[in-house]
Amino acid sequence: MHLNREVSILLVEDDDIDAEAVARGLQQARVANPIVRARNGEEALAILREKDGALGIGRPYLVLLDLNMPVMNGIEFLEELRADPALTRAVVMVLTTSNADKDRTAAFDHHVAAYILKARAGKEFEAAVKLIGHYWRYVEFPD
């Protein structure tokens, strides 16, 4: 067991307001994990692969993924992520506005750890952000 192991968070979110809300929620929950942001799936893959001048992210990491994004959406990102032997074990939680069955099914078909709706404002969203922030304390991540 890796006690006190810092887990970085890769937030894949195109909307500035939503990204700020997640960051603020994590801060309010006293989660001090490093957060790196990508604005679409293509940027996120560059960060994970440390390509195209992207800075990269330390391991272990947790990906918070929006589904509705330009350039490469969340489902396309998951397809590419799971097809890459170096990234296939990445822990991904979907954080999205989409409540569509097809999106939920597609996400879980790509082995996401959770599917959380952003629309659940107030206490429910606060609880979801706390879950995300504390998830790494209880789960063993692959190297």
Six-digit token string for 25: 């929620």
Q: Go through the domains of the chain in sequence order and give each one's CATH number.
A: 8-134 (3.40.50.2300)
Pick from 8, 37, 43, 18: nearest CA to 132: 8
Beta bridge partners of 10: 36, 63
Beta strand pairing status for 8-12 and 35-38?
parallel
Residue labelled with tokens 């990102």: 77
Cα–Cα distance between 8 and 136 in angstroms, integer? 9
125 and 103 Cβ atoms separated by less than 8 Å: no
The CA radius of gyration of the chain, in Å to the nearest whole number, is 14
**1-53 pLDDT, tens digit each:** 444 467 788 999 999 988 988 888 888 777 777 889 999 999 999 999 987 65
**106-132 pLDDT, tens digit each:** 999 999 988 988 776 566 767 777 777
Q: What is the pLDDT of residue 2?
A: 44
DSSP state letter for 111: T
Beta bridge partners of 38: 12
Q: What is the pLDDT of residue 1?
A: 40
Six-digit token string for 77: 């990102």
Q: What is the pLDDT of residue 14?
A: 94
Q: What is the pLDDT of residue 106?
A: 96
Between these two residues, 130 and 78, which has the higher pLDDT value? Answer: 78
Q: What is the pLDDT of residue 67?
A: 94
